[in-house]
Amino acid sequence: MKPTHCPPNCQNALRVADQLCQGRGVRLTPQRRQVLAILCDHHKPMGAYDILDLLKGEVSTAKPPTVYRALEFLLEQGLVHRIESLNAYVSCIHPEHPHASQFLICRDCGEVRELESRSVDQTLDSALKACGFKADSQVIEVTGRCLRCSEQTG
Ligand SMILES: [Zn+2]
Ligand SMILES: [Zn+2]
């Protein structure tokens, strides 16, 4: 089922996801694809229950485990990221390769911007090694105000 309200960049993200999954021999089932489409369509992070509400519009029998299982798959495939501090998910802007991400979270408009800075990643990596710490995730979340919001209010 193809969400008809999808903007072009979302269609593109879905196409990339299709290709990636095909290449890896994993299945982007219709439900996983719908969850991804919902996330691509909203440029803001969404909690699992927000996703469920929208998914119910298309799949009336959708239940929380449906969404969690789909999210787990999408996380594994690097198609979405989890923002711990918001307990929410965003679709990845460049899922073609595995990467550690930095997120800039605007506390006014809620916009989340994904950065992929290799130098931040490498610096963190060597700091972790020096401590002998084995990280589960290396996602950095920075909260503040985005350019648009700071320009609006000065
Ligand atoms: Zn990403
Ligand atoms: Zn903002």
pTM: 0.84
* Diameter over CA atoms, the chain: 51
| d(CA 54, ligand 2 centre) in Å | 24
Answer yes or no: is pLDDT of 127 > 60: yes
What is the full DSSP assignment across 84-121? GGGTEEEE-S-TTS----EEEEETTT--EEEE--HHHH
Ligand nearest to the CA of 143: 2
CA distance 147 to 63: 38
CA distance 147 to 133: 35
* All structural domains of the chain: 8-91 (1.10.10.10), 102-153 (3.30.1490.190)
φ and ψ of 131, to 5 deg: -90, -10
- Helix residue ranges per DSSP H, the chain: 8-24, 30-41, 48-58, 64-76, 118-131, 147-153
> Residue 132 — pLDDT band, cuts 50, 70, 90?
very high
Ligand nearest to the CA of 108: 2
| d(CA 69, ligand 2 centre) in Å | 31
| d(CA 1, ligand 2 centre) in Å | 33
Q: Tens digit of pLDDT for each residue in 49-89?
A: 999 999 999 888 999 999 999 999 999 999 999 999 999 99
pLDDT of residue 8: 63
Ligand nearest to the CA of 90: 1
| d(CA 152, ligand 2 centre) in Å | 9
